[in-house]
Chain A
Amino acid sequence: MPILLVDVSFGYRSGPRVVSDATVTIHEGETLAFVGPSGSGKTTMLNLIGGLLRPTAGVIERSGPVVPGPDPTWVFQTPLVFAGRSVVENVAAGLLSSGLPTTVRRELAMQLLDRLGLGSVAERRARTLSGGQLQRVSIARALVGRPSLILADEPTGELDRSTTRLVVDTMLDVRSAGSILVFATHDEEVAGRCDRRIAIEDGRIREIE
């Protein structure tokens, strides 16, 4: 299920282009990192790929079978969770669009939580967890539906080094075979774990060999 970006540009009328003439092909099963300083356009690129923004010029295409449920799934720098719900309910929410019964959704969520070492806190309310645990919960929610595309916007931005490794390991290990994982990060260590790195400077992209 490759993703094709052909001469994609984006900018606000009131400002300069944030992304200029970007042409990228992202292959099935690939991990890719957009790297660059703050404000360089990494997040905008992710939002364009994820469909949260429309390009002002160029074309973005995705081909392949339609996956039921939310696709892409997202992981953000600040974990987005239902703070008052249990951890397992938060993860099972990733399957809301699947049409699966509640018990099955909870079971799948529990399996993933056990795999991520969060099984012991599954029934605790999300607001009682640490930042690193919350990020792993949001990762579990993003992965539980076996999406073909996962977009992670600075997922380790607020984590210490050891938790960063744990989070990245989790994302790389637990994702389904064939799914695409795209990071926006300024963390060289995170980027270094990916198959490909693309630098963004002033809206222009450059493949890093």
Chain B
Amino acid sequence: MRSEDRDRRRPNQGDRVTYWRPRVIIREITLSLAANTWRAWALFAVAVGLILAVSSTEQIQVERALAAEHAQALAGKYTYRIGAVPTDATGETPGLHAGRCVALGSRDHVLAAAGFTLTDPVTLARAPGQQAELAVGVGPVAALWSGEKERRGAPSASLLVPVDMADAIGLAAGQGLVVDGRAYPTTDTFRPGPRIPEAAAWLIATGPPSGAVTQCWVEFPAAAADAGAAALRAWFDRNGGQVTVSAVFVADDLTIDPTVAYETRATREGWLVVGLVLGGILAIVGWFKRPEIALYRTLGSGPIQTAAIFSAQGTVLYSGAWLVSVLLLGLRALVASPRPPIDALVLGARAGLLTALVGMVAQVIAFVALSSGATVRQIKDRA
């Protein structure tokens, strides 16, 4: 049909359009939902399913990204090792200033800093066959292993023993230990992580931050890692010697950056696609509701008011579906973990909300288009 013909068919019934009271409109919305209960529930179930699919996919992907990020952080993604460079012809290294190493830990944007000096292999009087190396540590050395972040203060024991080694030699926390003939009156345990795997064989003798250490380890929060690493050399060069700064975690070609993987995920536009599907479903429902739309128009309701009555039903359904999906997301997160990542829940809920909003907007457009069509055509079309 040409536009001119369409214009001629446009009803002038609009001159007699009446605007109903909000109470009347709300009642019409309720009656309409109640009149097609099974359809309303079916639509609700479909909406919950689709919105939940988008939001839970998002939630799972965020959780995976966070878990991968956490694993890489455990492996030292934001941790740097500083070593001294030999400065004389004999190749001897002067060591790093232990005080400056430990002082890093109190700087802004530094999570922990501690120094080590490895010595020769040692023997244990109570377990002569046990392989161990003695490391002299300064600063909160246990804090460098994730999971022991609470131990940021100076160690309370004079010797730190890896948990597995303590079990192997039957050492209880707090007991003393003799190493190469030297007695350490108190011991504590630590759990070596992937960041320093060789530390599983270390006995760490703790001491005051004085003298020199051969290596200093510093951990930054992710956001400050690059800037912090760049400033490390200058921090230690104040001693007059040169230092090497190396990342503990070395990425290779197979290493996946969780942030990049999340940002380039295949389902990142899922909310838009599924939202349009939701809008399309209601548009199809609206197509079959043309008789009711025409009926409202003949009862004096204008196109916008008519569209509002029909699209409000979809808005109620999709809003409710989103709320249910958020509830289910929360339950799933609680079941999966006693301390679920809130970021994943929030981003999952946001993806669901975007899905529902796209669906709502699309169905509003559909109902405005259907309600704005000429009443005479709607009446004819229903046959």
Residues on A facing B (Cβ under 8 Å): 10, 12-14, 47, 50-54, 56, 68-71, 73-74, 76, 78, 80-85, 89, 93-94, 96-97, 99, 102, 125
Could you tell me if B292 and A51 are in contact, using CB atoms closer than 8 angstroms? no
Could you tell me if B28 and A78 are in contact, using CB atoms closer than 8 angstroms? no
Check: B182 CB closer than 8 A to any chain A CB. Answer: no
Could you tell me if B36 and A99 are in contact, using CB atoms closer than 8 angstroms? no
- What 7 A-B pairs are tightest by C-beta distance, nearest first? A84-B35, A70-B300, A97-B18, A97-B300, A52-B376, A85-B35, A51-B13
Check: B194 CB closer than 8 A to any chain A CB. Answer: no
Q: Is the interface of B mostly helix, strand, loop or mixed?
A: helix
Can you list 23 pairs linking A and B with CB atoms under 8 Å apart? A12-B8, A13-B5, A14-B5, A51-B12, A51-B16, A52-B11, A52-B13, A52-B374, A53-B376, A56-B8, A68-B18, A80-B298, A84-B32, A84-B36, A85-B31, A89-B31, A94-B299, A96-B20, A96-B24, A96-B300, A96-B301, A97-B18, A99-B21
Could you tell me if B376 and A96 are in contact, using CB atoms closer than 8 angstroms? no
A52→B376 CA distance, assembly (Å): 6
A89→B375 CA distance, assembly (Å): 22
Could you tell me if A69 and B36 are in contact, using CB atoms closer than 8 angstroms? no
Which residues of the partner chain A approach B291 to less than 8 Å between Cβ atoms?
Answer: 80
What would 19 more interface pairs be, CB under 8 Å, given A47-B376, A52-B9, A70-B18? A13-B5, A51-B12, A51-B13, A52-B13, A52-B379, A56-B8, A69-B300, A70-B16, A70-B300, A78-B382, A80-B382, A85-B31, A93-B295, A93-B299, A94-B299, A96-B20, A96-B301, A97-B20, A102-B27
Could you tell me if B18 and A69 are in contact, using CB atoms closer than 8 angstroms? yes
Which residues of the partner chain B approach A80 to less than 8 Å between Cβ atoms?
Answer: 291, 294-295, 298, 379, 382
A74→B299 CA distance, assembly (Å): 9
Q: Is the interface of A mostly helix, strand, loop or mixed?
A: loop
Check: B198 CB closer than 8 A to any chain A CB. Answer: no
Return the CB mask of B348-383 against A: 1 if under 8 Å, else 0: 000000000000000000000000001110010011
A50→B9 CA distance, assembly (Å): 12
Q: Given contacts A14-B2, A96-B301, A102-B27, is CB(A51)–CB(B295) below 8 Å?
A: no
Which residues of the partner chain B approach A10 to less than 8 Å between Cβ atoms?
Answer: 8
Check: B88 CB closer than 8 A to any chain A CB. Answer: no
Which residues of the partner chain A approach B21 to less than 8 Å between Cβ atoms?
Answer: 99
Which residues of the partner chain B approach A76 to less than 8 Å between Cβ atoms?
Answer: 379
Give the contacting residue for B16; candidates A56, A71, A81, A102; CB below 8 A: A71
Which residues of the partner chain B approach A69 to less than 8 Å between Cβ atoms?
Answer: 18, 300
Could you tell me if A51 and B11 are in contact, using CB atoms closer than 8 angstroms? yes
Q: Which B-chain residue is minimally distant from A76 (CB atoms)?
A: B379
In the complex, how many angstroms separate the beta carbon of B18 from the nearest chain A beta carbon? Answer: 4
Which residues of the partner chain B approach A53 to less than 8 Å between Cβ atoms?
Answer: 8-9, 11, 376
Check: B92 CB closer than 8 A to any chain A CB. Answer: no
Check: B4 CB closer than 8 A to any chain A CB. Answer: yes
Q: Which B-chain residue is minimally distant from A127 (CB atoms)?
A: B35
A81→B24 CA distance, assembly (Å): 18
Q: Given contacts A14-B2, A80-B295, A84-B36, is CB(A50)–CB(B13) below 8 Å?
A: yes
Which residues of the partner chain B approach A85 to less than 8 Å between Cβ atoms?
Answer: 31-32, 35
